[in-house]
Structure 1
């Protein structure tokens, strides 16, 4: 009976290294194709992909499938492969920030997360251009640089709050993230930023942002799963836009470096919603 027990202990570590390897492989593709003239592949609602999105996802899928052939994968570009009833599902966003990338802005991320049952157990978010990989084994969160890991430490010292202004806005008109920076109380305490990639969610865990706010229904989101898992493992405060547990009620996401920052943002959101 000792063998299954040892396997259960080491599986999250092995999965975390696989997530890192997959994210790094995707990031290498994104980095190599940067600056090339890439045809846009149109998608619904004005969205689009590029050949870099497609090739990076293909590479990530190959890394995961080689190591875990029985696992399912949900990718931003190809959708679900494998059984829809699979207990282990990888969530892959091969290039988060496609518009940034297409106009030669380096603010992008490669996101890989593993959901086992209802829980995201490991995740990695790679920055293709700094070559940093933010990752979690579900218990702690780290950044890997040049093969060395450093534990992430959230901090609200910067006062920078990243706000996602991309649609959809399911809670409009009661809540619109774009109105937050216009609130006088927001300006008294925070400084807004719009990075337009979920790399900014990861930055909350890393102490590079005080908080991140977005609307939307984010369960099984290939864009947000990795960043949320990293923030939880780093000890950030994570809820929906009205302070309820994630993926309940109105949905959305408020992730903050500390409870005080979180409370301040929830109060601003509540005041806006009552207008």
Structure 2
């Protein structure tokens, strides 16, 4: 709960909102839930919608002047609002719908504080925009990235805007990749927060500009604040013209991954992704 007698800082709001969503996700787990078809095989569940509503209740109470972009409800609030929250109430809906607990709740203020909650472990990975910490059982600890696990999460979900120059699936069998890393496929951006926490060495995904995506913005903010290396697939800063995302615990791991990505593009006769951009 946020103290109503004092204005909370943005990270406190982000944590409270993410926790509110996580409470809903956890409480509805295992129930038969109505599915809402989004087309192309994508869907939401009643848990996605209920969690987003709980998140919005927290944000509206604490920051009534701010706008919100939600995965399920779209854009809400004043069109001229100077601040906007990005909300993904249940990242990993397919996992959740089949009884897999690998899901995340993502809440981030554009360009500022953010929180990623794991509804089942109770962990909340968060940043105030400068430092990054994890809260569990009422105790906060710094997030310390490390590549020691050598585990790299690779997102295999479509679409594949960088193909044929880059296909995430090609990483899994590339000899330079398998010689250095061990792939994992968690299928939720919880794995992005795990890079900041040292549970993953890196995370790789394709996609168009992800810096303002409700799915990725909170995780990117946490990773940046933790000191991870965060770029697009062609090594440029996220938020520009480049596609995809490579988040690594350290510069060495990032360069090793980028060398494999460059090698895949070279095999296709495509030196970079420039010709594939919109």
User: Normalising by the residue count of structure 1, what TM-score does the alignment of the two structures yield?
Assistant: 0.93
Q: CA deviation at 1:83?
A: 2.4
Structure-2 residue corresponding to 1:34: 29
Q: Give 1:85-124 correspondences, 5 Å limit.
A: 85-115=80-110, 120-124=111-115
- 2:133 is aligned, of 139, 142, 145, to 142
Q: CA deviation at 1:168?
A: 1.2
Q: Give 1:225-244 correspondences, 5 Å limit.
A: 225-244=217-236
- 2:204 is aligned, of 213, 231, 238, to 213
Contact 2:211–2:220 (8 Å) recurs in 1: no
Q: Secondary structure at the match of 2:65?
A: coil
Structure-2 residue corresponding to 1:18: 13
Q: CA deviation at 1:169?
A: 1.0
Cα distance in 1 for partners of 2:154, 2:40 equals 20
For residues 116-173 of structure 1, give each alpha carbon's deviation from its aligned partner in whole angstroms, at most 9, with x where no partner exists. xxxx210000000011100000111000011110000000000000000001111111
Q: Which has the higher helix share?
A: 1
Q: CA deviation at 1:248?
A: 2.2
Q: CA deviation at 1:62?
A: 0.7
- 1:264 is aligned, of 240, 256, 275, to 256
Contact 1:171–1:250 (8 Å) recurs in 2: no
Q: CA deviation at 1:84?
A: 3.1
Alignment gaps of 5+ in structure 1: 1-9
Cα distance in 2 for partners of 1:220, 1:240 equals 13
For residues 11-56 of structure 1, give each alpha carbon's deviation from its aligned partner in whole angstroms, at most 9, with x where no partner exists. 8x71100000000000000000000001111003210000000000
For residues 51-84 of structure 1, give each alpha carbon's deviation from its aligned partner in whole angstroms, at most 9, with x where no partner exists. 0000000010011001111100000000000123
Q: Secondary structure at the match of 2:230?
A: strand
Cα distance in 2 for partners of 1:126, 1:93 equals 11
Cα distance in 2 for partners of 1:213, 1:135 equals 21
Alignment gaps of 5+ in structure 2: 1-5, 268-278
- 2:246 is aligned, of 251, 254, 258, to 254
Q: CA deviation at 1:85?
A: 3.1
How many residues matched? 261
Contact 1:160–1:211 (8 Å) recurs in 2: yes
